[in-house]
Amino acid sequence: QVHLVESGGGSVQAGGSLRLSCAASGDTNNRYSMGWFRQAPGREREGVASIGADGRTDYADSVKGRFTISKDNAKNILYLQMNSLKPEDTAMYYCVADEGRSWWLLLRSRPDNIDYWGQGTQVTVSS
C-alpha cells in the first residue's frame, strides 16, 4: 500500500509559477512509476507528467517545456514545477503511483487502471 498526500496548490495569475509536492508513505521502495494527473471541471482526468523508478520522464504535449517532474528518493517526495501557467492549466491535480506500469505507460493509462491516488490539490490560474 502507498499513501500519497499532495500540497502546493493555489491561485496564481497567468504566467506565474507553482510547485506541487506529493509526499509518499507506505511501501515506498522506489520501484513505482509516479506521476501527476489533472481534472478540470467538466473534463476527464488526463495525464500531465510521469517519472519512472530510473528517473526517465514524460510529459503531455500541453505542458512540455513549462512543467518539470522530479522526485527526491531519499525523502519520498514527488514534485511538479509548473512555470508559465495558463488559465487552461486550472484543474485539480492528483499525484499517482503504480508498480506495474512504466513511466511511459502510466502517463497514457486510464485513470481507473492506476493503483494509487492522492486526494488532489487545486490549481487555479487567472487571466
Average pLDDT per consecutive 10 residues, the chain (127 residues; last block may be shorter):
95 98 85 94 96 95 98 94 98 95 92 95 97
Whole-angstrom Cα distance, residue 125 to residue 127?
Answer: 7
Instruction: Write down the pLDDT at residue 29.
Output: 67
Provide the 8-state DSSP code for 73: T
Whole-angstrom Cα distance, residue 5 to residue 93?
Answer: 11
Q: CB-based contacts of 9: which residues, under 8 Å, 6+ apart?
A: 18, 20, 93, 121, 122, 123
Instruction: Write down the pLDDT at residue 27.
Output: 79
